Amino acid sequence: MSILSYRLHALWLLGYPEAARTDAEHMLTDAREIGRAATMMYALGHRLMSHVYCRNYAAANAQADELVVLAAEKGALFWKAFAMMSHAGVLALTGKASNTIQMLTSAIAAWRTTGATLWMPLFLSYLALAHAKLGQFDEAWRCIGEAMTAVKTTNERWCEAEINRVAGKIALIAPEPDAANAQMYFEHALAVARAQQAKSWELRAAMSMARLRRDQGKREEARDVLAPVYGWFTEGFDTRDLKEAKALLDELAS
């Protein structure tokens, strides 16, 4: 990745979603002005991921559609597979599980044929979530296990906290919800995010933990987990994560 794309991902992870979004917009604007297909595909790929991170799913799909067309036109299998994987990942994240599993499985397989490993752990966690939403928990845990193994073997640890948070979420929606296991995953997610100073992942893990504490009747503990993380942020308050965190804190205070 270029210095600009590293900066884009780092800004979001470190808790500056608005700055990351601005950088991504500048990257794509510059790429359109340059007018070269390779530059455009690179910019579209990173722009759509910035939308995924910020949960702007309609915008992410629009960029993925544009990338698929351009990549197919240029015979760029790497970027075509990435766009397809991203589109299917968005379906998983937006609850359209029945349309997702075959699409995402095929897209991940196509991505692997390019020799790429980047983003694989994150998209495997999306596939796990899609299986869980359809009640296919054996497959969900298999995908989570594969994601965690990929984190260790490739050392792609930037999304380790989110994978653990998703694992905790799956533990809670299982036919026999396992709150103790979910808490373990959420605590690990929080610990990893804090060690990496990944405030955006920390916020999501804190929200998951706060909801668990709320549902256990521990409202004060829930607020104590979430309030300090939310209070750290200085921008990006129009993003879905921060809006949901604020709404949860308001609920816990009432």
SS3 176: coil
Q: Which of 55, 10, 3, 4 has its CA nearest to residue 26?
A: 4
Per-residue pLDDT tens digits for 39-56: 999 999 999 999 999 999
Q: What is the pTM of this model?
A: 0.94
Q: Is 107 exposed, middle or buried (0-12, 13-18, 19+ CB in 10 A)?
A: buried
Cα separation, 95 vs 97, whole angstroms: 5
Q: Which amino acid is at 184?
A: M
Highest mean pLDDT among 23-32, 86-95, 111-120, 197-206: 197-206
Tell me the H-state helices in the chain. 3-13, 17-34, 37-53, 57-74, 77-93, 101-113, 120-133, 137-154, 160-173, 179-196, 199-215, 219-232, 240-253
Note the CATH number of domain 1-116.
Answer: 1.25.40.10
Q: Which of 68, 167, 64 has its CA nearest to residue 122?
A: 167
**Mean of pLDDT values over 167-191:** 97
Q: Nearest 5 degrees, angle CA 97-CA 100-CA 102?
A: 130
Per-residue pLDDT tens digits for 215-247: 999 999 999 999 999 999 999 999 999 999 999
Cα separation, 128 vs 148, whole angstroms: 12
Please say if the pLDDT value at position 177 is more than 80. yes
Residues 6+ apart with CB under 8 A from 51: 57, 59, 60, 63
Note the pLDDT of residue 42: 93
Cβ(83)–Cβ(48) below 8 Å: yes
Per-residue pLDDT tens digits for 94-125: 988 777 899 999 999 999 999 999 999 999 99
Q: Which CATH architecture has domain 148-254?
A: Alpha Horseshoe (1.25)
Q: What is the mean pLDDT of the chain?
A: 94
Residues of each domain in the chain carrying CATH 1.25.40.10: 1-116
